Amino acid sequence: MCAEAGFIKIGFTRYEILNEESGFLRMWLDKGLNAGMKWMHNNIEKRRDPSLILEDVKSVISLAYFYDTPAEHDENFRIPKISRYAWGKKDYHKILKKKLKHLCLEIEKQEAGIRTKSYTDDGPVMDKVWAERSGIGWIGKNTNVINKDFGSYFFIATIFINRELIYDRPVEDLCGSCNLCIEACPTGALFKDYNLDSNLCISYQTIENRGEIPEEINLNGWIFGCDICQEVCPFTRNKFFTNDENFYPSAGHFNKTYDELISMSEDDFNNTFNGTPVRRTKYNGWRRNLIKAIEEIL
């Protein structure tokens, strides 16, 4: 069922209360490393204990959905960059929610009394932790989940289920002594192994930040998100591409020049990016990002 739905990897792990991991999350939040994402303070108890989401939960199913394509950014400095996950025509939340809904219905048909609850980066779930525990991959030094065969260009979906399953083992952390992601991060957001300061992260600044971008943050040509820490990772060089055309670049905004993008009216922006992740930054944020990126190359 999962393969038919397009998921490239599935793993199973036992439900447990995440005391240690939620403790790290609290410390990270207390240090202000979430920047302006105040919503991350919400529902920490649910993140810690999924039984507050599904009362009789017994197991956690993690799934990976690949989104990388053969397309590449044009290296012309007059052409800004958008994160790979946002190249396509639809928001991944909508695509994966539909697939998860169908998958959960099929699972619940297997036996009377089965109950599930699913999320894809849209609820109080420590999805990376569950993905690591279920053997999807390991949480790398760039804080992304990395699979040795597929790299890290995949979305994570999580299903809680009230049944015992046959469980997978976590995989080995293969980052080793490699520090390419930390060394490549242009703003120092990856300030040490496995630690991210969102205040310095280009992805945060260009997507989630609703204010002005600090002058000292150089966008390095990125106007929505940033893939640098994934691009340099050795495990993303094992080229594997999605068959889902929803994630292939849209001609409406891929590899367009600054001049073409800055000339968009608000209506143009809304029509071009309707139903895509880029809408999250809103028109004012889009203009802000473009103007700053242009100023950096003048």
Give Cβ neighbours of residue 282 (< 8 Å, ≥ 6 apart): none
Answer for the pair 54, 238: CB distance below 8 angstroms, yes or no. no
Give Cβ neighbours of residue 60 (< 8 Å, ≥ 6 apart): 12, 13, 14, 15, 50, 130, 133, 134, 158, 159, 160, 161
Instruction: Give, for 136, the enclosing helix (H) or strand (E).
Output: none
Residue 202 pLDDT > 80: yes
Residues labelled as active-site residues: 121
> Each residue of 72-98: pLDDT tens digit?
999 888 999 999 999 998 999 999 999
| Helix ranges restricted to H, the chain | 19-30, 44-48, 92-109, 127-133, 180-184, 202-203, 228-231, 258-262, 266-273, 282-297
Q: Rounded to an integer, what distance in angstroms lies between the CA atom of residue 234 and that of residue 182?
A: 13
Confidence band (pLDDT; 50, 70, 90) for 1?
Answer: low
Answer for the pair 68, 242: CB distance below 8 angstroms, yes or no. yes
Mean pLDDT of the chain: 96
Beta-carbon count within 10 A of 245 CB: 10
> Each residue of 108-141: pLDDT tens digit?
999 999 999 999 998 999 999 999 999 999 999 9
> Each residue of 219-268: pLDDT tens digit?
999 999 999 999 999 999 887 899 999 999 987 788 999 999 999 999 99
Task: Give the predicted TM-score (pTM) of the model.
Answer: 0.95
